[in-house]
Structure 1
């Protein structure tokens, strides 16, 4: 897990040439291009960090983990984005997206969120 610290190292682990573009986002509006490229990089990173683990979406008992971020809305409190982590939560969550960015363990999700925070920021926030 901690051996992969960069996108380039994730590419190396999967046999991908990091110098080649992963996607052609030129047909997208300018404000979304960085997000599309960041998403592609995060997919590679997640696959490399998960080291062969594939989520089984038909198995309700298999836990899947995602980094969770908090973003400050006011300028005086703004610090970019932060990482929020918890062991327990009482809530029901539902998502239709993000399945390629899930992790096998909470430790991996936390590591990815902290190590690749800038890439997640590009992916999640418009104009970053």
Structure 2
């Protein structure tokens, strides 16, 4: 058998374009070095990637598939929640919170800015913004930006469900930026439909 060497970028492309059997073969060939060579943040860039990473038999994927058609035009927050469960499970690579002493869990944190607040910012502050146009959500111009990730164990209130927490700050930050549109659908009520 001839050995073929691939750089990381090519290997990621091959993995992302492979079917389930091809992905499994690559995982087996790389063994323990798989996650080091192909980090999860390289493998999961879209909802489709997350679903392929988990497989169709994963409980979160099965629930989403069973409701996907019914949610296509309604309840974008529920649809987004189901999508975020898939994304979170894929990025956590099997890790689930145990709710034990000393365990850290991370979740996303956003700030909502009105147009007036953005107008008052200096150029340096504006450059820090990763804006998502909010007109579809609030019917006025505003922006949503990723602010930081938070450690869930240091607070006594519950603002985020355990299905949407991450095992590391880096994963929470990655998800916050990579999937901002899905988080926006989850966090905001849709604009009311205009009456005819």
TM-score bracket, shorter-length normalisation: 0.7 to 0.9
**Residue 122 of structure 1 pairs with residue 164 of structure 2:** no
Contact 2:107 2:149 in 1 (8 A): no
Aligned counterpart, 1:34: 76
Contact 1:22 1:40 in 2 (8 A): no
1:95-110 residue pairs with structure 2 within 5 A? Answer: 95=158, 97-110=160-173
**Residue 63 of structure 1 pairs with residue 104 of structure 2:** yes
Question: Which sections of structure 2, spanning at least 5 residues, go unmatched?
Answer: 1-39, 119-140, 192-196
Instruction: Write out the 4+ residue segments of structure 1 that deviate beyond 3 Å after TM superposition.
Output: 24-27, 75-79
**Residue 50 of structure 1 pairs with residue 92 of structure 2:** yes
Q: Identify, as 1 or 2, the structure richer in helix.
A: 2
SS at match of 1:69: strand
| TM-score, length basis structure 1 | 0.79
Distance in 1 between residues matched to 2:155 and 2:79, nearest whole Å: 30
| TM-score, length basis structure 2 | 0.53
Aligned counterpart, 1:14: 54
Question: Which sections of structure 1, spanning at least 5 residues, go unmatched?
Answer: none
Q: CA RMSD in A?
A: 2.8
Distance in 1 between residues matched to 2:87 and 2:147, nearest whole Å: 20
Distance in 2 between residues matched to 1:104 and 1:11, nearest whole Å: 19
Instruction: Report the CA distance shift for 1:114/1:8 in structure 2 as closer, same or farther (over 3 A).
Output: same
